[in-house]
Amino acid sequence: MESIRQFVLVCLLGGLTAEDGGGWFQPSDFSLQDEGPCNIDVLDASSLSHQQFLERYAYSRPVILRGLTDNTRFRLLCSRSSLLESFGSRTVRLSTANTFSYRKVDVPFSQYVDIFLKPQSEDTLGSDTLYFFGDNNFTEWSSLFEQYESPPYVLPHTSGAFSFGVAGAGTGVPFHWHGPGYSEVIYGRKRWFLYPPDQEPHFHPNRTTLSWLRETYPHLPEAEAPLECTIRPGEVLYFPDRWWHATLNLDTSVFISTFLG
């Protein structure tokens, strides 16, 4: 009971409620309302054992799991005020949202939040979008990552590496692929588009996911439609090895991935 009282007190002192998104966005802020369809299996984690996960999904298709972990404490630590207090002066590395570009820009985290963290327009090119995700200094951010409860369903002979990010509405990464992993939204909503390894999607590497959604997606033949779904806080998406995927943040979002390698 004492721990519950302490948690409520921290929430009140930090100005947090379950509805305000940890201070990252307010009801008047810009967001994308179309969550799109969901044609990916969404399961309660209690209904899927680790062995069933390995047999049905690990090597063949994505799945979204609810209630897989409890990251309530981690979510509180990821509020806007908490992250700025703990990491505002730390340098973060921003990447361009371009499939084949590797340009990096280093800025203090507080500067990223104040200047770069904003909604993205449809005509912005990927090379002009600076995105904070993936290039985390694990020593400097270890105090945060230590509080994250990663998905327990791991693949044999793999270990997890974290990639943490904060991004504005309309941003995301265009289609690309790598090894298997999980993605969890802490605040906001993130829409995912996925294709199996043998079905390379049609996209321009310097066009953003938002422009692809508006210009290409509506005209796709049924046979070329992606697997897709929007994930919310408390949901974890798993994607297998070498699956093409692109993401779109519908709100200002905080998120973390666990890459299995």
* 8 found inside a domain: no
Looking only at the bridges linking them, the beta strands covering 227-231 and 190-195 are: antiparallel
pLDDT value for 144: 95
* 224 found inside a domain: yes
* 46 found inside a domain: yes
pLDDT value for 169: 93
Tally of structural domains, the chain:
1
pLDDT value for 194: 98
Host domain of residue 96: 42-260
Per-10-residue mean pLDDT for the chain, 261 residues long? 36 41 81 95 97 98 97 96 96 83 87 90 78 81 95 94 93 93 97 98 89 95 97 96 97 95 91
Produce one character per residue of 139-175: b if its CB has 16 or more CB atoms within 10 Å, e if not: eebeebeeebebbebbbeeeeebbebbbbbbbbbbbb
Domain containing residue 62: CATH number: 2.60.120.650
* 30 found inside a domain: no
* 75 found inside a domain: yes
* 136 found inside a domain: yes
* 7 found inside a domain: no
pLDDT value for 98: 74
pLDDT value for 28: 63
* 16 found inside a domain: no
The answer to whether the beta carbons of residues 209 and 244 sit under 8 Å apart is: no
- Give the other-Cβ count within 10 Å of 198's Cβ: 7
